[in-house]
Amino acid sequence: MTAPNAPLIELEDIRKSYGGGDSPSVEVLHGLTLTIRAGEFVAIMGTSGSGKSTLMHILGCLDRPTSGTYRFAGRDIGAFDADELAWLRREAFGFVFQGYHLIRTLDALRNVEMPAVYAGTPAPQRDARARRLLERLGLGDRLEHRPNQLSGGQQQRVSIARALMNGGRIILADEPTGALDSKSGAEVMALLTELADAGHAVILITHDRDVASRARRIVEIHDGAIVADSASSAASATASTASASASAASTADDRARVREIAQTGSTHIDAEPPTPGPAALFGDTRDFMAAMAAGVARNATPWADAREAMRTAWHVMWTNRFRTLLTLLGIVIGVSSVIVMLAIGLGTQEQVIAKMATFGTNRIYVVPGSSSPREPGGTLTVADVAIIRDVPHVKLAMPFAAGDVTVRAGNVDVRTHIWSVTTDAEEILHWKPSRGLFFTDEDERELAPVMLLGKKAREKLFGEANPVGRYVLVNNVPFQVIGELEEKGAVSGDKDDDDVVLTPFSTGSRRVIGDTNLSWISVLIDDLDNAPQVTQHIKEALTKAHHIEDFGVYDQAAAVRAQQQTQRTLTLLLGLIAAVSLVVGGIGVMNIMLMTVKERTREIGIRMATGARQRDILRQFLTEAMLVSLVGGVTGTVLGLAIGSVLILFDAPVIFSVRGIVAAFACALATGLVFGFAPARQAARLDPVVALASE
Ligand code: ADP
Ligand code: MG
C-alpha cells in the first residue's frame, strides 16, 4: 500500500447548497478544507444537522459539491464523468450506513458480492471472497440469510463485508452504530478499528463523542464548518505514530470483539489482499488514470454482463412472482391471440380457396344472351366451342346443356337437374366418380344412354344402396347408371351441385333436353393470370363469328381473386386486433417497470453506491423488462399452439404460420424493450444520493 503520509483526499473550500430554483437555496457546507491521508482513522463529529452526511456523500463521490475542489490522489475529480465516479466508488470506497442499506431481496452472500459484480470479477472468485469475508466477520452460518432474517449488528457486519469486497481502501461509515444496541455497536466499532489497523483509511461519521474518541483523529464540524481538527492541533505528529499508539489503545479496549475474529485464525479481517490495481496505484497519478480508464471500460465480457443481468432479473422476477404473473398475462394473451387468430385466418383462407379449387379456379364461362336488354338473346352452339378451343391459353372448352328433369328409379320419382357434358367434365369440373366410371368419348359418339349420379341425387333415388348398374328413366328415356360422383358440397348459398345427374352431351341434349343450343360453355385456361387476356380474346373471336355480341364472358378467376382479397383483409384485421392486445400487454410491462423503479429506488441507490454505472442500472432494468416479455412470449407461444391444436381437434380450419409465430414472439420482445426503456432510463438517471435517501 501507499505511504500513510500521501494525501489521499484533499477538500478545498467545499461548499454545498440545497434547493435553488423554486425553493430558496440553503448553504449547508460553508467552505470546508480537509486533507485525509492514506491509512488514517478519522472521526468526523458534529451534532445532528451539522452537515456530516452531506460531507460524507461528497467524500464518497455520491454527490458533487456546489463549489470547491475535491482532489483524489492528486486528481481533481470535478472533471470526472458519472462512469468515472462510479469506478472510484467501486474501487476506492466502501460504505457503511446507519441503516445498513442492504438489498432486502438478496441474501447476505449476494449483498456482499455486489461490488465485485460491478467490477466484473468472475463469479467463482467473488463468491469465494464474499464467503471468506462473511466467515471472518462471524457470519459463516448466515450466508443465505436475507437482511430481515438478521439482527441489526449482523446486518451491519454484512455491510462491512460488502464495503471490503473490492478492497475497501477507504471505509466511509456514517453513524454505523447509530441503530445498534451497545454490544453490537461495540462489535462494529471493534471491526472498524481492526480495519484501520490493517491499513484501511476509515472515515467515521458520528454525533457521539465516545464513538469518535476511538478514532486517531477527530474533526469537529458545526453548522457546516470545521471547528476543530485534532490533526492540526498535533500537527507535528506523523500519521504513523498516531496510528501505532491508537492501535495499541484499541486492542487493549476491545478484547471481546477481537476474540471473535481471532477464532477464525486471522489477525486481520481483511487478510485477503484488496483487489489488485487501484490500491497500489493511488500513489501514482498516471497509473491511477490508466487504471481508471481500463476500469471504466471494464474487463468483464458483454456476455458475462448479460448473464449477470439475466441472473438478477430472474431473481427479481421470481421474488415478485405473483405480480410478474399478472403482468405476464397481458403478454401471454397478446402473443397467443396473435398466433391463434393468424392461424384461423390463414386456415379459413386456405379452406375457401381449396373449396373454390374443387370447382376450378382457372375457369371462364361463356353464356348466351347479352347483358344489354335491347340486344336479342343469342344462342351458343357446339361450333362456338370449337372457336373457343382455338383461342390461345385455352386448355379445354366444354359445351354444357342443363335442365330440370324427373328421374324414376323403380317406383321412386324425383325432380333433379341434368347436366349434359363431355368427358372433359372430369377435368373442367374437377369432379371424379367415387363409384363406377366416367363415361367415355365412345359413349359420347354413340349417344350411349349412360349417366352418373351426384351424391344427393343418389340418396334421393336409391338411399344408401349402390346405384352402379341400375336403370332409371330420365323423362321416360331409359338410362343406365355407370357411376356416382364424389361429394362436392355447396360452395355458396342454396345452389347444391350434388343434386344432379351427368350424361354425355350428345345423349342428354338430343334425347332428354331436345335442344342442341347450349346453356353455357365452360372454358379451362392454363393459368389464372391469363384470365383477363383470354376473356378478351374469346369475346373478340365470338363477336367475329356472331357479328354481334350476343353472349357474355365471365371470369371465375376474378371472383376467386376478390375472395382471396377479402380473406386477406380479414386475416389482417384479426392480426391487428391481436396486436392491439400485445400493445396493451406492453403497457402492462411499462406500468410494472415504473412501479418497480419507484419501489426499488433505494436499491438503485445502493447499487450505485457500490459502483454500478448508469448503464449497469439501465441494462439491469431493461433485462428485467425483456425477461418478463420473453417468458410471456414463450408462454404465449405455447398457449397459442395449444389452443390451435385443440381447435384442430374440433376440425376448425387452423394453419399455423411460422412467420406469424416468429413475428408474435419478436413483438413480445420488442414490447419489453420499448415499454421497458423509459422506466429503465429513469432508474439509470437517478442521482445516487437522492436514490439512497428514498424510502
Ligand atoms: P447530519 O448528517 O450532520 O445530521 P446532514 O448532512 O444530513 O446533517 O444535513 C445537513 C443540513 O442539510 C440539514 O439542515 C438538512 O436539513 C439539510 N439537508 C440535507 N439534505 C438535504 C436535501 N436533500 N435537501 C435540502 N436540505 C438538505
Ligand atoms: Mg446524517
Position 234 confidence tier, pLDDT thresholds 50, 70, 90: low
Q: List Cα–Cα distances, 324 to 17, 23, 329, 331, in angstroms.
A: 41, 39, 9, 11
CA of 204 to the centre of ligand 1 (A): 17
387-404 pLDDT, tens per residue? 999 999 998 999 989 888
Report the distance separating Cα 428 and Cα 436, nearest Å. 19
| The pLDDT of residue 263 | 38
Per-residue pLDDT, averaged over 610-621, amounts to 89
Position 439 confidence tier, pLDDT thresholds 50, 70, 90: very high
| The pLDDT of residue 5 | 62
Most trustworthy range by pLDDT among 183-187, 321-325, 570-574: 183-187
273-295 pLDDT, tens per residue? 444 444 454 556 667 777 777 77
Q: Please tell me whether residues 527 and 618 are part of one structural domain.
A: no
2-50 pLDDT, tens per residue? 444 668 899 999 999 998 778 888 999 999 999 998 889 999 999 999 9
Q: Please tell me whether residues 336 and 430 are part of one structural domain.
A: no
| The pLDDT of residue 286 | 65
Q: Is the pLDDT of residue 418 over 80?
A: yes
| The pLDDT of residue 119 | 86
Q: Is the CB of 28 under 6 A from ligand 1?
A: yes
Q: Which atom of ligand 1 is nearest to the CA of 51?
A: 6
Q: Please tell me whether residues 94 and 237 are part of one structural domain.
A: yes
In a domain, 473, yes or no: yes
Question: Can you tell me which residue has the cell 440553503?
Answer: 26
Q: Which atom of ligand 1 is nearest to the CA of 174?
A: 2
CA of 95 to the centre of ligand 2 (A): 14
| The pLDDT of residue 492 | 44
In a domain, 304, yes or no: no
CA of 76 to the centre of ligand 1 (A): 25
629-640 pLDDT, tens per residue? 888 899 999 999
Candidate of 26, 54, 66, 692 to mutate for ligand 1, largest count of ligand atoms within 8 Å of Cβ: 54
Closest residue (by CA) to atom 1 of ligand 1?
49
Q: Please tell me whether residues 542 and 474 are part of one structural domain.
A: yes
Q: Is the pLDDT of residue 261 over 60?
A: no
Q: Is the pLDDT of residue 564 over 80?
A: no
Report yes or no: 192 and 20 within 8 Å, Cβ to Cβ: no
Q: Please tell me whether residues 385 and 322 are part of one structural domain.
A: no
In a domain, 554, yes or no: no
Element at 296 (helix H, strand E): helix 285-297
- Into how many domains does the chain fold? 3
Q: Is the CB of 52 under 6 A from ligand 1?
A: yes
Q: Please tell me whether residues 508 and 645 are part of one structural domain.
A: no
| The pLDDT of residue 694 | 80
| The pLDDT of residue 302 | 78
Position 249 confidence tier, pLDDT thresholds 50, 70, 90: very low
Examine the fold and report which residue of 270, 298, 326 is the final residue of a domain before the chain moves on.
298
Report yes or no: 202 and 42 within 8 Å, Cβ to Cβ: yes
Q: Please tell me whether residues 316 and 250 are part of one structural domain.
A: no
Neighbours of 517 (CB within 10 A): 14
Report the distance separating Cα 572 and Cα 634, nearest Å. 23
In a domain, 620, yes or no: yes
Report the distance separating Cα 425 and Cα 508, nearest Å. 14
Closest residue (by CA) to atom 10 of ligand 1?
51
Name every residue whose Cβ is closer than 8 Å to that of residue 599 and which is 6 or more positions away in sequence: none
Position 256 confidence tier, pLDDT thresholds 50, 70, 90: very low
Closest residue (by CA) to atom 7 of ligand 1?
53
Q: Is the CB of 50 under 6 A from ligand 1?
A: yes
Neighbours of 538 (CB within 10 A): 24
Structural domain harbouring 274: 9-298
In a domain, 119, yes or no: yes
Q: Is the CB of 224 under 6 A from ligand 1?
A: no
CA of 51 to the centre of ligand 1 (A): 6
Angle, nearest 10°, between helix axes 182-197 and 255-263?
Answer: 70
Q: Is the CB of 49 under 6 A from ligand 1?
A: yes
What is the rounded average pLDDT for all residues in the chain?
83
Q: Please tell me whether residues 571 and 621 are part of one structural domain.
A: yes
- Strands (E) in 223-335, as ranges, are 225-229
| The pLDDT of residue 567 | 78
Q: Please tell me whether residues 22 and 148 are part of one structural domain.
A: yes
Q: Is the pLDDT of residue 459 over 80?
A: yes
Report the distance separating Cα 564 and Cα 670, nearest Å. 31
Q: Please tell me whether residues 413 and 525 are part of one structural domain.
A: yes
In a domain, 504, yes or no: yes
CA of 110 to the centre of ligand 2 (A): 27
Report the distance separating Cα 198 and Cα 270, nearest Å. 7
In a domain, 372, yes or no: no
Examine the fold and report which residue of 254, 274, 298 is the final residue of a domain before the chain moves on.
298
DSSP codes, 406-422:
EEEETTEEEEEEEEEE-
Angle, nearest 10°, between helix axes 152-164 and 182-197?
Answer: 20
CATH number where 124 lies: 3.40.50.300
174-215 pLDDT, tens per residue? 999 888 898 888 989 999 998 898 888 999 999 999 889 989
Q: What angle is formed at CA 599 by the lines to CA 597 and CA 604, rounded to 5 degrees?
A: 55
Pairing type for strands 201-206 and 217-222 reads unpaired
| The pLDDT of residue 243 | 42
Q: Please tell me whether residues 175 and 61 are part of one structural domain.
A: yes
Q: Please tell me whether residues 105 and 187 are part of one structural domain.
A: yes
Q: Is the CB of 221 under 6 A from ligand 1?
A: no
- Strands (E) in 486-613, as ranges, are 500-504, 520-525, 551-555
In a domain, 4, yes or no: no
Examine the fold and report which residue of 298, 320, 343 is the final residue of a domain before the chain moves on.
298
